[in-house]
């Protein structure tokens, strides 16, 4: 893996005629690499994505962020699922090549995490030892349901769910039973007072920065567990 304190630009080939941008950020001695997909409404350079990459770098975890093709094109219309899944697989392949033998985990923010799990459910992602979700979008806002989680039963690697108690896209009363049915393959970390973007109200007594630190601490520790078991 290339060691640098700065993010390195990469070009990711998804398929014939489809290429997207990627960003690799690594500490000098990475202990894991996280292939980190963005959510539906913002790309890999969003402030949340950058903040997570920087924090994880400081905790020994490299990150490979990447764009989905619709974001690369500058449009808001989300790509068909087959193209999204192909992009996930291409990013994982790049991450595997960059990892240099350290444990590889994948996932991401909201839709990016769900597309990663959809890809893993369809066919195991080679080299990936676990999936980490930064706000799994269990259902649309105001439309509670669990059908978006049906595919998780087909995922064979451990999964980490980080969810805020105010997340409008994941009613915890619905998510907890989903995680419980996955048995020891799934871990749920509840972030008190956080919404889907992990913002917290001032009256909570916490700051967004503290929440980001908690997210990074949790992902780094969980990734270290993957390393210990590798």
Please state the domain extents for the chain: 4-229
- Give the pLDDT of residue 228: 60
- Give the pLDDT of residue 225: 80
Give the containing element (helix H, strand E) for 175. helix 172-181
Kindly report the CATH class assigned to 4-229: alpha beta
| Alpha-carbon gap, residue 131 to 110, rounded angstroms | 13
Over the stretch 126-161, which tens digit does the pLDDT of each residue have? 999 999 999 999 999 999 999 999 999 999 999 999
Over the stretch 155-180, which tens digit does the pLDDT of each residue have? 999 999 999 999 999 999 999 999 99
pLDDT at residue 226 greater than cutoff 90: no
| Alpha-carbon gap, residue 230 to 132, rounded angstroms | 17
pLDDT at residue 190 greater than cutoff 80: yes
Buried b (16+ CB within 10 A) or exposed e, 139-168: beeeeeeeebbeebeebebbbbbbbbebbe
Query: How many residues can be counted in the chain?
Result: 230
Over the stretch 22-37, which tens digit does the pLDDT of each residue have? 999 999 999 999 999 9
- Global confidence as pTM: 0.95
pLDDT at residue 65 greater than cutoff 90: yes
104-109 vs 128-134, strand pairing mode:
parallel
CA dihedral for 103, 35, 25, 3, sign (positive or negative) = positive
Give the containing element (helix H, strand E) for 96. helix 81-99
DSSP 64-76: EEE--HHHHTT--
pLDDT at residue 2 greater than cutoff 70: no
- Give the pLDDT of residue 197: 97
- The pLDDT-based confidence of 224 (bands split at 50, 70, 90) is confident
pLDDT at residue 230 greater than cutoff 60: no
Over the stretch 71-120, which tens digit does the pLDDT of each residue have? 999 999 999 999 999 999 999 999 999 998 999 999 999 999 999 999 99
pLDDT at residue 3 greater than cutoff 90: no
User: Which carries the bigger pLDDT value, residue 67 or residue 203?
Assistant: 67
Mean pLDDT of the region 201-229 = 90
* CA atoms within a 13 Å half-sphere pointing along the CA-CB vector of 41: 6
CA dihedral for 175, 224, 89, 125, sign (positive or negative) = negative
């Amino acid at each position: 893996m290339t060691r640098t304190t700065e993010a390195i630009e990469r070009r990711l080939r998804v398929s014939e005629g489809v290429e997207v941008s990627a960003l690799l950020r690594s500490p000098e001695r990475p202990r894991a690499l996280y292939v980190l997909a963005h959510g539906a409404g913002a790309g890999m350079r969003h402030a949340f994505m950058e903040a997570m990459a920087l924090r994880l770098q400081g905790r020994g975890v490299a990150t490979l962020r990447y764009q989905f093709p619709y974001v690369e094109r500058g449009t808001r219309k989300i790509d068909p699922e087959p193209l999204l899944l192909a992009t996930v697989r291409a990013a994982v392949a790049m991450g595997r090549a960059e990892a240099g033998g350290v444990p590889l985990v994948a996932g991401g923010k909201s839709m990016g995490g769900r597309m990663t799990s959809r890809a893993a459910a369809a066919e195991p992602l080679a080299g990936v030892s676990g999936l980490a979700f930064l706000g799994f979008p269990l259902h649309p806002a105001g439309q509670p349901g669990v059908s978006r989680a049906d595919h998780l039963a087909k995922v064979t690697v451990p999964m980490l769910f980080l969810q805020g108690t105010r997340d409008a896209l994941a009613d915890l009363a619905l998510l907890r039973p989903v995680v419980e049915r996955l048995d020891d393959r799934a871990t749920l970390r509840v972030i008190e007072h956080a919404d889907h973007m992990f913002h917290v109200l001032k009256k909570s007594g916490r700051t967004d920065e503290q929440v980001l630190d908690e997210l990074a601490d949790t992902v780094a520790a969980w990734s270290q567990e993957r390393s210990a078991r590798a």
